[in-house]
A and B are shown apart, each in its own frame.
Chain A
Amino acid sequence: MSTVNHTQEPLLRIAKRDGISRPKAYVIRIVAVVLSLVVSGIFIFAVTKLNPVEVYKAIFDGAFGTSRRSWVTIRDTMMLLCIGVGLAPAFKMKFWNIGAEGQVLIGGVVTAGFMRAFGGSISTPVLLVIMAVVSLLAGCVWGVIPAAFKAKWGTNETLFTLMMNYVAIQITSYCVALWENPIGSNTVGVINQQTKAGWFPAVFGQTYGLNVILVLALTVGMFIYLKYSKQGYEISVVGDSQNTARYAGISVKKVTVRTMAISGAICGLAGFIAVAGASHTISTSTAGGRGFTAIIVAWLAQFNTFVMILISLLLVFLQKGAIQIASQFNLNDYASNIITGIILFFILGSEFFINYRVILRGKKEVEAK
């Protein structure tokens, strides 16, 4: 016979909060950032015997130490933000688009192709418009294929978009081999290095001015689209409950395909910006994992594209800082990655305490004020 004791309350219980006031949520977040700095400070001192303040200074230096570094940080932030903005509608619809990597790459490949082929024959402004359009289309196709399969046959979009990444990577490898320059280097090299044909022109004297303008325009546009447009409303309804959507006469299939067309297209455009506006070359690492990092950006911001600006900046800032401390203090890459890891862990973990509260045994359940 089994003896059962079921009266004992567990030591810790977790209860979902009914809601939390905005200031309180921000207090939790700020406490998380402070705690993360303290904990990584302890880590830094324990492992490297370095002064944590110096290390934090170096992180800041790495991201904003010089004007050039600042612009690189801004450029990379815009890149990440652009992909995040592209992912926002898909994830808001609860469509797990983890194929941004491929959508960016395929947009980049067609951009590079057009840049090589028509760099000498078409004037740069016209060529830029053409490249923007074809990269939009390429990304759109990459997004629509998994969406259409899901709408028609109910395939799993997570696996499908992931596989589309590999297809894009293989196509890119093939093109890199095809366009190799110089022969034997196994890279495409900088395209149109002499003529700069098809490159983003400097705006207000800034090399990356156009990147900023394009991406911020998309950010504002996507914010308005999601919040105020009829299609944005449909995306919210489908993301919340497909049954409710059907009940309201919304075609879930149509919305799925349409939203992924938009999502893929913006990611494709991110590929265009990466090639024509930043690297001026193409390789399989053009997307560089940003397609996945951008998922964190989109979710953390709860699909609010303005909040995404801050989060993208934070992630890029930490990344640049990590590179800086690695070289400045002769740490290996892993040490600096651990520090960024600790900081991210605390920031992500704070969301748990915003949504849930922990009740100790014996304590009366007190409603959070």
Chain B
Amino acid sequence: METVAAVQLRNITKRFGKVVANNSVSLDINRGEILSLLGENGSGKTTLMNMLAGIYFPDEGEILVNGQPVIIASPKDAFDYGIGMIHQHFKLVDVFTAAENIVLGLEEEGKLDLKATAAKINGICEKYGFQIDPNKKIYDMSVSEKQTVEIVKVLYRGADILILDEPTAVLTPQETDRLFDVMRNMKADGKAMIIITHKLHEVMDVSDRVAVLRKGKYIGDVATKDTSPQALTDMMVGHAVTLNINRPDPKDPTPRLEVSGLTVYDAMGVKRLDNVTFTAMGGEILGIAGIAGSGQKELLESIAGLQPISPGASIRYRPIGHPEDKDGTELVGKTPLQIKQAGVSLAFVPEDRLGMGLVGTMGMTGNMLLRSYRKGHGIFTDRKAPKKLAEEVLTELDVVTPSVNFPVRRLSGGNVQKVLVGREIAQEPSVLMTAYAVRGLDINTSYTIYNLLTEQKLKGVAVVYVGEDLDVLLELCDRILVLCGGQVSGIVDARTTTKEEVGLLMTRFKKEGEPA
């Protein structure tokens, strides 16, 4: 029998300012099928799905549901067409029960009848194999239960086209298996499903068809049974692009930071880093690659003394020019101030520039002061030295600002980053850690940053570069450490490795011996 695709996207384009998030994407989604949407960070997967869910509105192109052109201008419109999205970040009211959350916002006739709701919820659960207590409060629930509530919420509203945005990122392997069982049940019931994921083995496991996006463009789709993880990685990362970043050889690398057995749990009790061991060498740039949220943030923050670290870990620091200091300094258990007082000159350019690295309401001078305000014995701060430093950074890095006292939060992203990097390098660090140092920056500023990092490397600094663009990582770094789900899935030589190899390591989950 001829079937019309449940949803057809035709030449969808979405721009955010100058950035093209989706460039003329066309995609079909069929009933009774699980479609995986695959792509690197920033390839536009979530943006595309948000347009289906009514959160964004496409700039160009059209959407057809059951063959009819439709306009989806709000999440409510999306529900009217039977489209439901389960977002990465749950949108639930903590103090309400599952049932209350599920009926929230529904305009039903008559009185609110939570008993009838609960019965209907139980019906849905039985049909697809969920387990959920309608009367349990959200704050008493595990992450997996909350996700179940989100899915049931969508089904309760009669959705037959379901979009799941990285549903497995927060689940344990067992919970993932259970979710996949439910998805297969829904598939059997004729629902159309789209799952956004980075994990190739899950793609292979659950989906019928895979569609790949790269840098906002639709690359193609293949039937899962006809493809392999290797082929998918190739589609995902594409061919290497030459960037011509100047990369001198490392100058007599010496161990600077020896990290071993580093395990970190976040405030929710989810394991973010799992027994991470590596050595960062002075005189080289160590790249950190990985899908977003694989533990990069936690890794840098735990070295900087900003994360509680599980027992058994060690981070040894060896200063420049003291090879005789065999023991080095132990950083685990020290606060940022104690690390500084122990004579460790650690520079850190965090991902959240204004929220963590800088004080937005202050000018450049005030921000230079952040690292040096403790200097001197008196109770007053010395503002002359930071002002001089601010002026130096302003001229050397070409910061565009009306004055050194102009609040940095009003500067453009590139200038904010120059202020931050300029200050961190001015500390004459022996370890320089950067997280997504060129995110959102234009080409010129990006190259300024690459050159600054390379300069530091030649000075013997151990540079740690957390990046998302594999092309840059391959050309800028000397070695690349790949994180996958909080574990080190490999450390490779950046000069000899390939994009495909790193791409595979980024998505290769260790199945055997993985703790439950």
Contacts and interface: CB of A to CB of B under 8 A. Distances in A.
A86 B444 CA distance: 48
A241 B359 contact: yes
Given A19-B410, A230-B379, A240-B361, A4 B336 contact: no
Interface stretch (B73-81, B183-191, B244-252): B73-81
A231 B379 CA distance: 8
A2 interface: yes
B71 A248 contact: no
B360 A251 contact: no
Contact of B379 (A18, A229, A246, A251): A229
Contacts, number: 74
B304 A251 contact: no
A4 B370 contact: no
B349 to A, nearest CB: 10
Interface string B174-205: 00000000000000000000000000000000
Given A19-B410, A229-B381, A233-B369, A248 B336 contact: yes
B336 A228 contact: no
A228 B383 CA distance: 9
Interface in A1-53: 1-2, 4, 6, 18-19
A22 B299 CA distance: 45
Interface string A168-187: 00000000000000000000
B57 A240 contact: no
Nearest to A237: B359
Contacts of B71: 4
Interface stretch (B224-232, B350-358, B493-501): B350-358
Interface in A269-305: none
A228 B358 contact: no
B356 A243 contact: yes
Contacts of A19: 410
Contacts of A241: 354-356, 359-360
B306 A247 contact: yes
A233 B371 contact: no
Contact of A247 (B356, B361, B379): B356
B374 interface: yes
A4 B381 contact: no
Contact of B362 (A230, A240, A246, A249): A240
Interface in B272-314: 304, 306
B337 interface: yes
B96 interface: no
A247 B359 contact: no
A236 interface: yes
Q: Indicate the size class of the contact surface on chain B.
A: 35 or more
B335 interface: yes
Given A4-B73, A6-B73, A233-B381, A244 B359 contact: yes
B337 A249 contact: yes
B359 A240 contact: yes
Interface in A109-159: none
A4 B354 CA distance: 38
A247 B357 contact: yes
B410 A244 contact: no
B336 A244 contact: no
Contacts of B447: none
A88 B238 CA distance: 57
Contact of A248 (B80, B371, B379, B380): B371
Nearest to A246: B306
A114 to B, nearest CB: 31
A230 B374 contact: yes
B356 A229 contact: no
Contacts of A230: 373-374, 379-381
Contacts of A250: 337
A280 B11 CA distance: 81
Nearest to B74: A4
Nearest to B80: A2
Among A18, A241, A248, chain B packs the most CB atoms within 10 A around the CB of: A248
Interface in B322-371: 335-337, 339-340, 348, 350, 352, 354-362, 366, 369-371
Interface in A189-246: 228-231, 233-234, 236-237, 240-241, 243-244, 246
Among A18, A231, A237, A249, chain B packs the most CB atoms within 10 A around the CB of: A249
24 contacts: A1-B80, A2-B76, A2-B77, A4-B71, A4-B77, A6-B73, A18-B410, A229-B379, A230-B374, A233-B373, A236-B359, A241-B355, A244-B357, A244-B358, A244-B359, A246-B306, A247-B306, A247-B348, A247-B357, A248-B371, A249-B336, A249-B337, A249-B340, A251-B335
Given A4-B71, A230-B374, A246-B306, 11 more contacts: A2-B76, A229-B379, A230-B381, A231-B379, A236-B359, A237-B370, A240-B359, A243-B352, A243-B356, A249-B339, A249-B340
- The 9 closest A-B CB pairs, nearest first, are A249-B337, A249-B336, A4-B73, A243-B356, A240-B359, A248-B370, A228-B380, A247-B356, A233-B373
